[in-house]
Amino acid sequence: MIKNVIAAVVCLMVFSCAGTPASGPAPEWAAGAGGIEAAYPAQTYIAQRGRGEDRAAAENDALGQISRFFATEIESQNTRIQHSREQNDVETSTTERVSEIYVRSQTELFSVRYSEPWYNAAEKLWHAVAYIARDEAWVIYEPRARREADKFLQMYRAAQQAKETVRQYGIYGAALNLFDKDVAPVVFFAETLHPAKAASSLRDVEEALTAIPAAMDEARSRSYIYIKCDRDYEDRILAAAEKCFSVLGFPVQKSPARAAAVCAVRVTENETSSGASGPQLFSFRPSASISLTGKEGVLFSWNSQPMDRVTTATRDAGRRRAYTALAAEMEKSFPDFFHRKMGE
């Protein structure tokens, strides 16, 4: 009987010890606000501390903190780049260029290691540090960053070599679009991962991004556009086209001799009339197409949206209303199309 009681007490002690983690001395990284910096210097490591009810939860929380650190840094760098463009590109406020970078909440992480977890008995929580050794991770990530950077730089150099100013402007815009959509997240991740090495390895990307807004302005200032319309009413379509290019910042040339590109506008009136059993009515449902052609061929084409039918008692009144509506549609839609087509 006594043996059974002793055995039961021993088992109870064993289970009790197993259910209560030993706290042990606090590691260096847990010593106040500066502890993690002392153990994992920011110049050498990216380190974040996490907490949880068990070891796995503490490590997952620390990993989440690293992910948020990268997201915050990448967003900050994107803001810096966009602000830099606003400072150099006089058309930014007019075109209301909106960044197409959307920083992902889940960042692709690698080379993450963890400290030995520590149980804080006062909090009844586990603590752990997730960390990335910058030098080690850079060796892995640099080739990918370089591949993405070279895609952008290849397009940037193609723009520099383009012979036509309008085409040059478009390629510069496409290069910026490529950077925003595909290259920026990788480059910004690299700059967060290892600022010193990224600054050296990706200096050519920074230089190109700085140069492009001024290069686009220069190309645009030399891109004289000559506009011709096959059909018009009181020059309303011509005026609308001139206004569109003025809003876009392109100079309009009255003669095709010095023009960098020709904007050819074709208007279809879609006129019908009726009146066999009553007063004659005239109906119009106009449409327009624009073809922008440089010395090396067509740059792009645009077609207006379908217009509402205009019906009037006189042909002249119908044409006036139809052309007024078509001109308004051109002024509304063409500049946005131009920005998309030119990669802005």
In a domain, 165, yes or no: yes
Give the lowest-confidence range in 50-54, 61-65, 70-74, 339-343: 339-343
Instruction: Give the number of other Cβ atoms within 10 Å of residue 114's Cβ.
Output: 15
Assess whether 68 and 167 both reside in one domain: no
Residue written as token pair 């686009």: 216
d(CA 289, CA 295) in angstroms, rounded, equals 20
Assess whether 77 and 111 both reside in one domain: yes
Among residues 202, 221, 240, which one ends one of the domains?
221
| 8-state DSSP, 22 | -
Assess whether 189 and 292 both reside in one domain: no
d(CA 9, CA 178) in angstroms, rounded, equals 71
Among residues 135, 164, 199, which one ends one of the domains?
135
In a domain, 7, yes or no: no
In a domain, 237, yes or no: yes
What are phi and psi for residue 232, nearest 5 degrees?
-155, 170
- Residue range(s) defining the domain that contains residue 177: 145-221
d(CA 166, CA 299) in angstroms, rounded, equals 8
User: pTM of this prediction?
Assistant: 0.76
Cβ proximity of 237 and 229 under 8 Å: yes
d(CA 165, CA 115) in angstroms, rounded, equals 57
Helix H or strand E encompassing 319:
helix 315-341
In a domain, 3, yes or no: no
d(CA 339, CA 342) in angstroms, rounded, equals 5
Residue 320: is its pLDDT beyond 90?
Answer: yes
In tens, the pLDDT along 160-184 reads 999 999 999 999 999 998 998 889 8
In a domain, 170, yes or no: yes
18 Ramachandran zone, left/alpha/beta (phi>0; psi -120 to 50): alpha
Assess whether 292 and 319 both reside in one domain: yes
Instruction: Give the number of other Cβ atoms within 10 Å of residue 316's Cβ.
Output: 10
Selected residue with higher pLDDT from 272 and 34: 272
d(CA 139, CA 263) in angstroms, rounded, equals 51
In a domain, 4, yes or no: no
Structure tokens at 210: 């700085």
Residue 307: is its pLDDT beyond 80?
Answer: yes
Mean of the per-residue pLDDT values for the chain?
Answer: 86
Strands annotated E in 214-334: 225-229, 252-253, 261-268, 272-274, 281-284, 287-294, 297-303, 310-312
| SS3 category, 269 | coil
In a domain, 75, yes or no: yes
In tens, the pLDDT along 2-54 reads 444 344 433 433 333 444 565 578 999 998 778 999 999 999 999 999 999 99
Among residues 74, 104, 135, which one ends one of the domains?
135
How confident is the model over 86-93, as a mean pLDDT? 48
Instruction: Kindly give, in sequence order, each residue whose CB lies less than 8 Å from that of residue 148, ignoring residues fewer than 6 positions away.
Output: 182, 183, 186, 187
